[in-house]
Structure 1
């Protein structure tokens, strides 16, 4: 039975010799190496040693999307589905609102510079801690000459929040 108490939905199973049989979908699970696997129950005959007879049993197996295919018109929304958990500090890029501060020391008579980058900018210092938007804005407002990076879009995102205009060449 599925989590809602309804019967497990049927699923088409493609065997190695291209025969097609029906099974029952128990769960869907995302795997760390990528992709989804489906736990499918296949009806089989099995010998029972105690009764010396043959009885029906369900054989459970994990299958790939190429091996387990949906049945047209069947709903799979009640099947337990397990995505990989997101690590607390590892949000997808679309959800991130983090910044890195690059401090470039003075060289060859040139003054030092402070640049605020989006966390994944190629020019952002690797290994340095990320800062939140409040800390990034604080750096831009209080450190003389600090600028948001134009390459990664920090200037577009942070410029309006600091009261400065977005540069025209972006």
Structure 2
């Protein structure tokens, strides 16, 4: 709990939707609150709002106070008609990188080996990207040189589900097979 004197910004109102209480048979309620901050996230906007509340004093009395909580818009916080929210401190997402937009999210770097036991104690390995659903959890990451050393073993396969084969095959056999030369 905090008091409104924590910030010098001019207060503006916002509507906060309180959840229904099925035990008491109460429907959703809307109360007026103060927006302290707003933040843009990957999934939408969230607001830090100050809800009116009370706090107990040592002498047994109660005084007006404010309870602050982050709530998601528009499901739990709504604007009041005619109010300008430009004065509320706002954090927006940085502009997306053109490279990231074109290529998408990068996978973790490196490769991991899943060991597979076959009959008579023989083992073979399967090389995976670390985020492959078939990759073993907690396996050490191999850099490109170590991954190539492991891939050269005839008992090692390169996973085709996670593009490991697509990434490492040109490094193992050269790029000539891609262009047909």
TM-score by length of 1: 0.52
Does residue 1:98 correspond to 2:110, yes or no? yes
Q: Which residue of 2 aligns with 1:85?
A: none
Q: Secondary structure at the match of 1:138?
A: helix
Q: 1:53-97: per-residue Cα shift (whole Å, max 9, x none)?
A: xx8x4422425433323557634883469xxxxxxxxxxx84412
Alignment: residue pair count: 143
Specify whether residues 97 and 10 from structure 1 end up closer, same or farther in structure 2 by C-alpha distance, changes over 3 A only.
farther
Q: Which moved more, 1:95-104 or 1:148-157?
A: 95-104
Deviating beyond 6 angstroms after TM superposition, the runs of 4 or more aligned structure 1 residues are: none
2:143 corresponds to which of 126, 129, 132: 132
TM-score by length of 2: 0.50
Question: Cα offset for 1:133?
Answer: 3.5
Flag structure 1 segments of 5+ consecutive residues without an equivalent. Answer: 30-34, 82-92
Flag structure 2 segments of 5+ consecutive residues without an equivalent. Answer: 21-26, 93-104
Distance in 2 between the 1:133 and 1:7 partners? 56
Equivalent residues in 2 for 1:118-129 (5 A)? 118-129=129-140
Question: Cα offset for 1:136?
Answer: 1.8
Specify whether residues 138 and 63 from structure 1 end up closer, same or farther in structure 2 by C-alpha distance, changes over 3 A only.
same
**8 Å CA contact 1:8, 1:79 repeated in 2:** no
Distance in 1 between the 2:148 and 2:89 partners? 46
Question: Cα offset for 1:117?
Answer: 0.9
Distance in 2 between the 1:77 and 1:118 partners? 44
Specify whether residues 62 and 139 from structure 1 end up closer, same or farther in structure 2 by C-alpha distance, changes over 3 A only.
same
